[in-house]
Amino acid sequence: MTKKIMLMGATGSIGTQTLEVIAAHANLFELVGFSYGQNIDKAREIIKAFSPKIVVSAQESDQQQLAAEFPDMTNLFGEDGLIELVRTEDYDILFNAIVGSVGLLPTVEAINLGHDVALANKEAMVVAGYNIMTDAARTGSKILPVDSEHSAIFQVLQGVACQDDVRSLTITASGGSFRDKKREELVDVTLAEALAHPNWSMGAKITLDSATMVNKGLEVIEAHHLFGVPYENIHVVLHRESIVHSMITLNDGVVLAQLGASDMREPIQYALSYPKHLKMHNEKPFDLTEIGALHFEKIDLVRFPMLDLAYRVGKLGGGYPAVYNAANEVANQAFLDGKISFLEIEQLITRAVFEHMEFDGQTLNQILATDKETRQKVRQWIADLTSDKEE
Ligand code: NAD
Ligand code: MG
């Protein structure tokens, strides 16, 4: 029996590697449907290669084109289309490789229908981790982490007989493109410099998030929800080689770590094949002697204030993580579009978090409203900043 996969975000960096894994194990996995954002040419290639039953385009015009070319396939579009996609009954795992909180509602819907979810889309977990985890506990859906650090912790936990023996988690951080720069050197860094990640080849948004360290902040919040560990017991260390993907410390001080190449196909494949570890396609055996030495350094929260802020919003809970995430999504895009400077990303996120006020947590609908309001506010601030610069 093949596992049927529904893939959101098929044309992206994670989506493409997920398709590689599916194709490499065609006897085990089958792509039954997918969604994509912009790249209709790539979507066409995927349709021809995998013959899915259903495809969701972000744009209506793309949906119409595909409907004309592939009339036997169900063609949908937009955010409503994503909800319809996950309501299709015939799949085993929703693989969420969308970037940004647009992936949240279809994830919640799939969980409420009892489907397992392989989650690369960390923004969804950051915005509504409490809702996702309580819904999953109620319906019995498994949340299978795809982020390499969380996959590492999840893999290591398979070998721990008593889960309450876990004292703390240690997430490794490569430090991103600017890890060797001082804060004063960040003033005029360029987009090309920000996108040159030392270890991983990833989508633009997460590569920039690594440079600002927002990515590690999102990952701390993601880990808190996935593994139910308090923030005081989640640590981050700088590890330049990205070989130790993360570790756990047990009550007696024993440390268990997961190591491997910087290749996202490993955690992707494990999320699909769990609990089995399948052979990797085109595997080159991982050889620690080729790496030689591994380094670990304390992380400086003054140098990386976005990590510090993530701990704060995580502890505050409610809508605060959604504010942090939404402000980052808008500011990150504005830097990618050349509208603001690198350090203005941090300033916008900090301002959005500090202006947010809430006293008693938020329901999912309130969180969604907070997400929307924050985006509008930060877009306005960016418009003000850019008009100031033009004057
Ligand atoms: P990407 O930008 O390469 O791909 C994102 C996908 O989402 C694309 O298919 C895009 O078309 C689609 N998409 C974007 N906006 C959309 C919208 N509004 N509606 C519908 N579809 C939309 O991103 P990526 O690097 O593959 O990252 C995907 C997720 O995985 C992110 O949450 C990221 O943080 C996480 N992640 C990525 C990596 C990596 O190596 N790339 C590693 C760990 C975690
Ligand atoms: Mg990661």
Distances (CA, A) of 303 to 145, 178, 299: 29, 11, 8
Looking at ligand 1, which atom is closest to the CA of residue 124? 32
Run of H or E residues at 272: helix 265-273
Q: 98, 130, 145: which is the final residue of a domain?
A: 145
- pLDDT tens column, 82-112: 999 999 978 999 999 999 989 999 999 999 9
Q: 91, 126, 145: which is the final residue of a domain?
A: 145
Residues within the annotated binding site for Mn(2+)?
A: 147, 149, 219
Instruction: Say if residue 173 is in the same domain as residue 100.
Output: no
Q: Where is pLDDT greater, at 70 or 286?
A: 70
Instruction: Say if residue 98 is in the same domain as residue 246.
Output: no
Atom 31, ligand 1: residue with shortest CA distance:
99
Q: Which of 34, 35, 45, 99 to mutate to test the pocket of ligand 1 (most atoms within 8 A of CB)?
A: 99
Categorize the per-residue pLDDT at 390 as very low, low, confident or very high, splitting at 50, 70 and 90. confident
Pocket of ligand 1 (CB under 6 A): 9-15, 35-38, 58, 97-100, 102, 120-123, 147, 200, 202-203, 205-206, 264
Looking at ligand 1, which atom is closest to the CA of residue 15? 26
Instruction: Say if residue 131 is in the same domain as residue 171.
Output: no
Mean pLDDT of 117-137: 97
Beta partners for 237?
Answer: 172, 298
Q: How far does the centroid of ligand 1 lie from the alpha carbon of residue 15, in Å?
A: 7
Instruction: Say if residue 233 is in the same domain as residue 328.
Output: yes
Q: Which ligand has its closest atom nearest to the C-alpha of 173?
A: 2
Instruction: Say if residue 136 is in the same domain as residue 158.
Output: no
pLDDT of residue 308 exceeding 90, the answer is yes
CATH code, 329: 1.10.1740.10
Where does 163-213 have alpha helices with state H? 191-194, 204-212
Q: What is the pLDDT of residue 89?
A: 74
Instruction: Say if residue 201 is in the same domain as residue 305.
Output: yes
Q: Specify whether the backbone of 95 is left (phi greater than 0), alpha (psi in -120 to 50) or beta.
A: beta
Q: What is the pLDDT of residue 198?
A: 84
Q: What is the pLDDT of residue 199?
A: 86
Categorize the per-residue pLDDT at 118 as very low, low, confident or very high, splitting at 50, 70 and 90. very high
Mean pLDDT of 220-241: 98
Q: Which ligand has its closest atom nearest to the C-alpha of 146?
A: 1
Instruction: Say if residue 132 is in the same domain as residue 198.
Output: no
Q: What is the pLDDT of residue 302?
A: 97
Q: Which ligand has its closest atom nearest to the C-alpha of 204?
A: 1
Residue type at position 318: G
pLDDT of residue 329 exceeding 70, the answer is yes
- The C-alpha R_g of the chain, in whole angstroms, comes to 21
Measured distance CA(209)–CA(382) in Å, rounded: 18
**CB 149, CB 248: distance < 8 Å:** no
Instruction: Say if residue 322 is in the same domain as residue 355.
Output: yes
Q: Which of 7, 8, 13, 150 to mutate to test the pocket of ligand 1 (most atoms within 8 A of CB)?
A: 13
Measured distance CA(15)–CA(56) in Å, rounded: 14
Residues within the annotated binding site for 1-deoxy-D-xylulose 5-phosphate?
A: 122, 148-149, 174, 197, 210, 215-216, 219
Residues within the annotated binding site for NADPH?
A: 11-14, 37, 39, 121, 123, 203
- pLDDT tens column, 160-217: 999 999 999 999 999 999 999 999 999 999 999 999 988 888 999 999 999 999 999 9
Domain count, the chain: 2
Asked if the ipTM is above 0.90, the reply is yes
Measured distance CA(234)–CA(311) in Å, rounded: 9
Q: 145, 169, 188: which is the final residue of a domain?
A: 145
Q: How far does the centroid of ligand 1 lie from the alpha carbon of residue 116, in Å?
A: 19
Mean pLDDT of 368-385: 97
Which residues span the domain enclosing 296? 151-390
Q: How far does the centroid of ligand 1 lie from the alpha carbon of residue 207, in Å?
A: 11
Q: How far does the centroid of ligand 1 lie from the alpha carbon of residue 13, in Å?
A: 7
Instruction: Say if residue 189 is in the same domain as residue 333.
Output: yes
Beta partners for 258?
Answer: 246
